[in-house]
Amino acid sequence: MPTRPGLLECIERYFAAAPLPDARIEAAGALDVPIGDPAWPYPARPRSGAGRVTADDVRAAIALQEAAGLPAAVEWVPEGSQETAAAARAAGLAVEELPLLVAVDPVELLLPAGVRLYLVGADDPELSRYQWVAATAFAHPGGPCDVLDVPLDTSAEGLARTAALRERIASGRTVMMVAVENGEPVAVGSHQPVDIDGTEVSEVVGVATLPRLRGRGLGAGITSALVAHATETADMVFLAAGDDDVARIYERVGFARLATTAVAEPRPAG
Alpha helices of 140-236 — where are they, by DSSP H?
156-171, 218-230
| Chain mean pLDDT for the chain | 91
Tell me what pLDDT residue 256 has: 95
Alpha-carbon span 145 to 147, nearest angstrom: 6
Alpha-carbon span 177 to 109, nearest angstrom: 15
Share of the chain above pLDDT 70, in %: 94
Strand partners, 196: 199
Tell me what pLDDT residue 82 has: 83
For the domain made up of 115-253, give the CATH fold. Answer: Aminopeptidase (3.40.630)
pTM, full prediction: 0.92
Tell me what pLDDT residue 112 has: 87
Alpha-carbon span 180 to 118, nearest angstrom: 8
Helix, strand, coil content of the chain in percent (nearest 5): 35, 30, 35
Give one word for 264, left, alpha or beta, with left for phi > 0 and alpha for psi -120 to 50. beta
Give the pLDDT band of residue 38 (cuts 50, 70, 90): very high
Strand partners, 116: 180
Per-residue pLDDT tens for 7-33? 899 999 999 999 999 999 999 999 999
Higher pLDDT, 130 or 49: 130
DSSP 40: S
Pick the closest to residue 261 from 220, 208, 203, 207 (CA basis).
203
Per-residue pLDDT tens for 76-134? 999 888 899 999 999 999 999 999 999 998 888 888 889 999 999 999 999 999 999 99
DSSP 212: G
Phi and psi angles of residue 117, each rounded to the nearest 5 degrees, phi first: -115, 135
Is the pLDDT assigned to residue 157 strictly greater than 60? yes
Strand, helix or coil at 236? strand
Pick the closest to residue 81 from 264, 265, 268 (CA basis).
264
Query: Is the distance from CB of 204 to CB of 189 less than 8 angstroms?
Result: yes
Tell me what pLDDT residue 148 has: 53
Is the pLDDT assigned to residue 158 strictly greater than 80? yes
Pick the closest to residue 150 from 196, 96, 88, 212 (CA basis).
212
- What is the distance of C-alpha 153 from the center of its chain? 20
Positive/negative CA dihedral, 23, 44, 154, 123: positive
Strand, helix or coil at 240? strand
Give the pLDDT band of residue 3 (cuts 50, 70, 90): very low
Query: Is the distance from CB of 98 to CB of 253 less than 8 angstroms?
Result: no
Tell me what pLDDT residue 146 has: 53
Q: Would strands 93-103 and 236-240 be described as parallel, antiparallel, or unpaired?
A: antiparallel
Q: Where are the domains of the chain?
A: 7-100, 115-253
Give the pLDDT band of residue 142 (cuts 50, 70, 90): low
Alpha-carbon span 72 to 77, nearest angstrom: 18
Tell me what pLDDT residue 145 has: 55
Tell me what pLDDT residue 109 has: 84
Tell me what pLDDT residue 149 has: 64
Identity of the amino acid at 117:
L
Radius of gyration of the chain (CA): 18
Share of the chain above pLDDT 90, in %: 75
Per-residue pLDDT tens for 229-253? 999 999 999 999 999 999 998 998 8
Tell me what pLDDT residue 1 has: 47
Mean pLDDT computed over 184-189: 95
